[in-house]
Each structure stands twice: as structure tokens, then as C-alpha cells.
Amino acid sequence: MDHVHAPPVPAPTFTVRNLTIAYSGNPAIKNVSLDLYPRSVTAFIGPSGCGKSTFLRALNRMNDLIPGVTTQGRILLEGEDIYAPGVDVVNLRKRVGMVFQRPNPFPMSIFDNVAYGPRIHGVTDRDRLSAIVERSLTAAALWDEVKDRLHKSALDLSGGQQQRLCIARLLAVDSEVLLMDEPASALDPISTGKIEDLIDELKNRYTILIVTHNMQQAGRVSDRTAFFLSGELIEYGLTAEVFESPRDRRTEDYITGRFG
């Protein structure tokens, strides 16, 4: 194994300070602080119910949609507090896109799914839309499989194709950050491999934050890994270090499969 160089640390995309999130009073995230870096993949790992998804959904304020959720602390996106009063949540979600655990293409054609984002953000020109659709599908490694049936229903695609379509849909709106909530957990190994290759490709241009149950996956795709347990951030660092020489006993136990 090569020696791991500590990369020069760029300005963080997200700066999270003392974040506490509770569902009707029950804390799911407890006083978490960390920095998340651009053009790299950060994985959030931990057993079910450790709060990693809740943490992810705080970053584009998806938790706002769930009644009874309270968020304390600060989350800065490039220096600006995304929970400050008056923040344009719609614009935030445009910058910070999300791929969900289960593929959720809209019940429309493949083309319309990808064109959905650009359309709602004001692109009407047919040629420009076609160009965006082709570029996004190509970037999501799906173009060759669907180029002959762009106007067929997206729901007829396989699960893996649907998930890549959802990623293409996201790429079409020019987000800066991609949040992925266990994007491969509902997929077969081959589809999972394709998604992982795609993540590897995309990290040159995006800040990718991925929640995963799958330890090997975290090891394969991520540059940094954060380990959560019962809502607390136990350990956070370069993936190689977290996996090879965890500082905390609980991290080691989890990684070696002693629980979770």
C-alpha cells in the first residue's frame, strides 16, 4: 500500500459546529462538529439509527419536511449559515442535491426526468434541454443504455438504471454538493459497482457526501470517513487512517464487525 500523503487542506465546503438534531425532543445527533471538504468523497458510517442519515438530511434542510424536528448549532455552506432566518431553502437545495436510498424517478419519461430540474429553473429551449439531458446522462454513465428510449417511461428501467437516472437528474441542475443516502443499498452488486465507479468519476467536480451501511463501500469510494454511534461523532479522518489505525476502540470494533 502506498504511503498516504496528507492532501493540502482546501477551504471546507461545509463547516458544522455543535449540531444537535432532535425528533420531538429525542436527540438523533448530539453536538457534532466537523468540516467537509470539496472535490472529494466523505463517507458517513455507523450502525442503523446512529443518526448518519439525519445528519446528511440536515445539510440540505430535508429534515424541515419532517414535523417535530428541531435543529440546533450551525451549518455553514461556504461560510454562510444555511439555517439563518431568511435563507432561500429552494436555492440551497439546488446547490446541494440529494440521491435517496430507493431510486425515486418521477412517473414520466426518461428525458422528462432529467429535464425536470433545468425546466423548473427556467430552461425552455428545446435544443438546450436536449444537450443538458445528453450531457447529464452521459456523466451518469447511462446514456448508451437509454439513448434509444429517452421518451419511454423511467419506471421501466431496472433499479440500478433508475438510480443512475436519479443521479443524472441531479447533475442536470449543476449542484455543487451531492448528498447520497445509501444510494446502492437497494441494488445488486453489478449496479452497485457502476454507482461506485460513477462516484469516483464525479468526485473530481463535486463535493460528495455519502451515507453507507457497507464498510467495504466506504473503504472503496471515500477519501474521508466519519463514524457515528448513537448520534455522536466518534471518529473522523482520512479513510485510510480510520480503517487502518482507528483511534477509538468503538470505531475499531465496528469496522472489524464486532457489532452493527
Which positions lie near other proteins, rule CB under 8 A? 60, 62, 65, 67, 90-95, 97-98, 100, 102, 104-109, 112, 116-117, 119-121, 151, 153-156, 166, 169-170, 173
- 163, exposed or middle or buried, with CB in 10 Å at 0-12, 13-18, 19+? buried
Residue 149 CB, shortest distance to other proteins, in Å, is: 12
Residue 227 CB, shortest distance to other proteins, in Å, is: 25
Residue 199 CB, shortest distance to other proteins, in Å, is: 17
Looking only at the bridges linking them, the beta strands covering 41-45 and 224-229 are parallel
Residue placing its CB nearer to other proteins in the complex, 33 or 91: 91
Residue 201 CB, shortest distance to other proteins, in Å, is: 21
Residue placing its CB nearer to other proteins in the complex, 9 or 65: 65
CA-CA distance, 229 to 172, in Å (whole number)?
A: 35
Residue 112 CB, shortest distance to other proteins, in Å, is: 8
Can you say how many angstroms the Cα of residue 152 is from the centroid of all Cα atoms in its chain?
Answer: 27
Residue placing its CB nearer to other proteins in the complex, 63 or 212: 63
Residue 12 CB, shortest distance to other proteins, in Å, is: 22
Residue placing its CB nearer to other proteins in the complex, 20 or 109: 109
Nearest to 82 by CA among 52, 62, 54: 62
Residue placing its CB nearer to other proteins in the complex, 31 or 153: 153
Cell of 221: 469510494
**Strands of the chain, DSSP E:** 14-23, 26-36, 41-45, 69-77, 80-81, 96-99, 177-181, 207-211, 224-229, 232-238
For the packed helices 159-171 and 189-202, what is the interaxial angle rounded to 10 degrees? Answer: 20
CA-CA distance, 73 to 206, in Å (whole number)?
A: 25
Residue 91 CB, shortest distance to other proteins, in Å, is: 7
Residue placing its CB nearer to other proteins in the complex, 97 or 219: 97
Can you say how many angstroms the Cα of residue 178 is from the centroid of all Cα atoms in its chain?
Answer: 5
The answer to whether the beta carbons of residues 130 and 138 sit under 8 Å apart is no
CA-CA distance, 47 to 45, in Å (whole number)?
A: 7
Residue placing its CB nearer to other proteins in the complex, 83 or 106: 106
